[in-house]
Structure 1
Amino acid sequence: MPQPRKQALIIFAKHPVPGRVKTRLIPPLTAVEAGRLYECMLRDTLCRTSRLAGIDHMLFYVDEPGAEPFFRQLAPSLPLFPQQGKDLGERMANAFSTAFAHGYQGVAIIGSDSPDLPLAFIENAFANLTNGKAAVFGPSEDGGYYLVALGEMHAELFRGIEWSRSDVLAKSLGKAAEAGIRVALLPGWYDVDTIEDLQRPELRDRENDAPLTREFIENRLGARGTRL
């Protein structure tokens, strides 16, 4: 009887230091508020994804003073790794390499900017890898992606891309096509980066299972999400 594939979800995270996270929200938020919002989103992400059955978790954090002890206290049960690389692409490629070196056969990376991301999307990513796709992308509304998953190492997907541009996904899909990599796309979703994102009704939905983020928004913006 074949053994089940060993799968891992990597969460990319930052130490929520005021002035270092969610800077596109400063103003209208203060640096302290932006840091608190990021921590709420991160905690919601960790709590929700912990319910994924049969998938191990790994947390890769931006290596800066105070980050390791913060994450050891925040997520004591998760294996922690410092992110390594000069840009986001290199850091993701190195994270994938680390996970594959630990024996995983299907690996996905998400961040913490989509605290209400449906768990079904993540499960669908792993299902696509099991069904023969070599790479899976979750398109985000800003032109990037909220998730990338691989069944084997394809470092070429992360080279030569300007990560701040709105054509990140398009460039990544082009690289996949050039390399003959079989790709699947998940449903679109959004990141929480701007005040307009905070005003989305989905984030104030009592059913979205991101309670800390929702509470922050209600306290800061008001129940209708319009007060600044």
Structure 2
Amino acid sequence: MKPVRIVIFAKAPQPGVAKTRLIPALGAQGAADLARCMLLRTLHEAVAAGVGPVELCVTPSSAAPIWQTLGVPEAVQWSDQAEGDLGKRLAVAAQRVLENGESVLLIGTDCPELGTACLQQAARDLQRTDTTLFPTFDGGYALLGLNLFHCSLFEGIAWSTNTVAFETRYRIGQLGWTLQNHPMLHDIDEPSDLKWLPKSWLEMTGA
């Protein structure tokens, strides 16, 4: 059985950079504060899942001072995102992990519903299927788990649209790979998504 590595993709939670679509509702600082809360929550859930190494794949570089101020758990490993669009960055990380003999769970920090239980379930899925997917209501996905790599899962995808999960599932089928698909979860990207957050998180942002 291959070890499972969780790779978390994250932008630095800085005002005007993180969660920009939430700025009209929360302000630049409030959106950044929420991004920081979601990032740290994702990290702690990933470590608590106990399925294997947890890697934080960041932009800007992990050498940037912002990353030293967040209280990232010591167990977390660091890497820098590749250049290019989201597909290229995901592909580079996935290929690196898989070529190292590990399975990979690719996740972001935008889905508070993607907790320890989901991560543990995804790791179990990869013991018996080629891929696993936790789609989101906006048409994207919160988690893509892989035992195999193919560039078609990441090239020519219209990222940040409502076709991402559908297109990913279609391409997995075209490859003849097995897939465990899960019920949809809620991402927090737009002001209308804020209703899915715990009230205490919104109070923290001053909303």
CA deviation digits over 1:80-106, x for unaligned, max 9?
Answer: 1111031111111111122123331x2
Quick one: distance in 2 between partners of 1:94 and 1:123? 24
Q: Distance between the aligned counterparts of 2:75 and 2:65, measured in 1?
A: 13
Displacement, 1:127?
Answer: 1.2
Partners of 1:116 and 1:189 in 2: how far apart?
Answer: 6
**C-alpha deviation, 1:166, in angstroms:** 0.7
How many residues were matched structurally? 205
Describe the SS at the equivalent of 1:165: coil
Matching residue of 1:30: 27
Superposed displacement of residue 218, structure 1: 2.9
SS in 1 for 2:24: coil
Q: In 2, Cα distance between the equivalents of 1:34 and 1:67? A: 23
CA contact (8 A) 1:121 1:186 kept: no
Unpaired segments ≥5 residues, structure 1? 205-213, 222-227
Residue type of the alignment partner of 2:57: F
TM-score (norm 2): 0.90
Contact 1:125 1:186 in 2 (8 A): no
What's the secondary structure of 1:38's corresponding residue? helix
Which residue of structure 2 aligns with residue 166 of structure 1? 162
What is the CA–CA distance in structure 2 between the aligned matches of 1:113 and 1:67, rounded to whole Å?
23
Larger RCO of the pair (alpha carbons < 8 Å, separation 6+)? 2
Question: What amino acid maps onto 1:50 in structure 2?
Answer: V
Q: Name the SS for the 1:174 alignment partner.
A: helix
Q: Answer yes or no: is 1:153 the counterpart of 2:149.
A: yes
- Please provide the CA RMSD for this pair: 1.9
Shift in Å, 1:71: 2.8
Aligned match of 1:43: 40
Bigger mean CA offset, 87-96 vs 76-85:
76-85
Partner of 1:13: 10
What is the CA-CA distance between 1:116 and the residue it aligns to?
A: 3.5
1:84 maps to which residue? 82
- Say which one has the larger Rg: 1
| 2:168 match: secondary structure | helix
Paired amino acid for 2:34: L
**Contact map agreement 1:139 1:186 (CA 8 A) in 2:** yes
Q: Structure 1 vs Structure 2: percent identity of aligned residues? A: 32
Hey, what's the Cα distance between the residues in 2 that align with 1:219 and 1:164? Answer: 27
Which string of whole-angstrom CA distances, capped at 9 and with x for unpartnered residues, describes residues 10-30 of structure 1?
Answer: 111111111111111111211
Q: How does 1:1-228 map to 2 (within 5 A)?
A: 4-63=1-60, 68-73=64-69, 74-75=71-72, 76-104=74-102, 106-131=103-128, 133-200=129-196, 203-204=197-198, 214-220=199-205
User: What is the alpha-carbon distance in structure 2 between the residues aligned to residue 117 and residue 54 of structure 1?
Assistant: 14
TM-score by length of 1: 0.82
Task: Give the distance between the partners of 1:29 and 1:67, measured in 2 at CA.
Answer: 28
* CA distance in 2 between partners of 1:7 and 1:101 (Å): 13
- 1:97 partner letter: Q
Q: Give yes or no for contact 2:105–2:143 (8 Å, CA) kept in 1.
A: yes
SS in 2 for 1:50: helix
